[in-house]
Every structure is written in structure tokens, then in C-alpha cells.
Amino acid sequence: MLTEHALNTIQTNESKSILKVQNLNKSFGENQVLNNFNLELFEGENLVIMGKSGSGKSVLVKCLIGLIQPDSGSIKIMGEDITQLSQTKLDELRTEIGFLFQGSALYDSMTVRENLEFPLRRHKKKFGEIVNTTSLVEKALESVGLLKAIDLMPAELSGGMQRRVALARALILKPKIILYDEPTSGLDPITAKEIIELMRNIQQEYKTSSIIITHDVDCARVIANRMILLIDGTNYIEGKFTDLEKSKDEKIRAFFK
């Protein structure tokens, strides 16, 4: 059984830590957004983080990718504390992290092909001499079922298709970790289910480790190997969806009503 209000990290002999956050603090003036926040992500798992609006989810994600410097604490990704890295080293490490933005964030003036080629051009060192970028672009689009859209403009795509292209772009550098920011936000129920199923397939095909920021309970139920509830800037509780759903704690039950 889970212990309420306690960190309950699930770890097996087979699992290996790939990302670890310890005692992370971040304040803006008198507003303390993250308060000794802790989490650990293991290889091959989908970790869902849920929190109310304004709970600090976006701040946490920005800390994880080095866009915001925390006040204190450590963020270790594949053993490297990103709070201590130079900008050059941080940029290199970021190639191992795919990021799916909430609004997809495709470049409007570029075709789908050009959107996917952009990170390849920017991070040439990761692949050395790439003979044929087209094959990498096509493979990424095949993974999300959108090869037919390769020469379309973002404006010609539906919201669900844009989300798939954004996911293909996140995958093209073959990252070890993917961060999803509200992956089903703004999508109709059917398209949301398709994106969730795609995320599961990506995990199996690419062996990625993922952190999914969401307020979508149905998404969490299907995708989460483990969940964290972010309340009052802390890791209030973590565990399996089915265990948290049974909690009698009113702060926890509020997420499942």
C-alpha cells in the first residue's frame, strides 16, 4: 500500500534511473512555486505529473530543459547535473531530450519536411555525416502515420495532425527522454485517444523514457506507469494510477472526481 504524503519511488532490479530531481526550489518574488520537489524517472517508463493550473508544472518542465535556473537543488539527466553545465554541454545534452510543446509549435513558414529537417541541420554532430536526411524524416513521419503529409504546410493540417508532426520532430534526433506538455490539450476525444495510443507505441518502438505533464485523467489512466501529484510545489504523493485513485485524502481525490 502507498503511504500518503510520502515519496514512494517504485524501483525494480531491472530499472535504471535516467533523470533525477532532488530538493528543487524555485520562487518568483514571494511566490514559492517549487518547494523541495523530488522525482526520479526510470528507463522505459511513462511518468505522469498532474497538478492544478498554477501548481508549477510549466516551471518544472522549463527547469528540466534548462530554460529556468532553479534557486537550489539538482537535476541530473543521465548522470549530468544540468544546473552545473556550461551552455555548450547543456545544448549537447538537450539532443537526448525530445519535447512536445502543448501547441505543437511548428514553424508556420516551413513544410512538414522542413520542420523535421530543422533539428537535423542544427545538431549535425549527433549523427556525424548524414548522407540522406530524407530517410530520417520519412522514418519519423512513418512512426506517427503521417508520411503522406511530408510536403504540406502546417496550416493545411488538423490539430491532431499537427500534434503528430510535432511528435515526429521530437523523435527525429532519437532522444532517450521525451517530455510531453499537455499532449491531448485542445483535441477532440477521438483524436486524443489516437495520440495517447501513439505515445504508447512510441515508448515500445523507441524504448523512450517519458514525462507527461497533463490534467487529462483519461490520458493518465491509460499512459502512466507511475504518477506524481504536484501539490503546493511538492511531490505530494506518487504511485500507480489505480492506487492513487483509491485514496481517501481529499487533496488527492480532487484529481479523480
Domain extent listing, the chain: 17-96+175-253, 108-170
CA-to-CA separations, 40 to 86, 184, 201, in angstroms, rounded: 23, 24, 22
> What are the φ and ψ backbone dihedral angles of 36, each rounded to 5 degrees?
50, 50
Contact (Cβ atoms closer than 8 angstroms) between residue 195 and residue 164: yes
pLDDT bucket at 127, cuts 50 / 70 / 90? low
* pLDDT > 90? residue 248: yes
Distance, CA of 226 to CA of 46 (rounded, Å): 7
Write down the pLDDT at residue 131: 54
* pLDDT > 50? residue 2: no
| Domain at 17-96+175-253, CATH from 3.90.45.10, 3.40.50.300, 3.40.50.720, 3.40.1180.10 | 3.40.50.300
For residue 182, what is the DSSP state?
Answer: S
Nearest to 137 by CA among 153, 124, 120: 120
* pLDDT > 60? residue 40: yes
pLDDT bucket at 11, cuts 50 / 70 / 90? very low
Average pLDDT over residues 86-103: 87
User: What sign does the dihedral 136-139-143-145 (CA atoms) show?
Assistant: positive
Average pLDDT over residues 4-16: 46
* pLDDT > 90? residue 77: yes
Residue whose cell numbers read 540522406 = 132
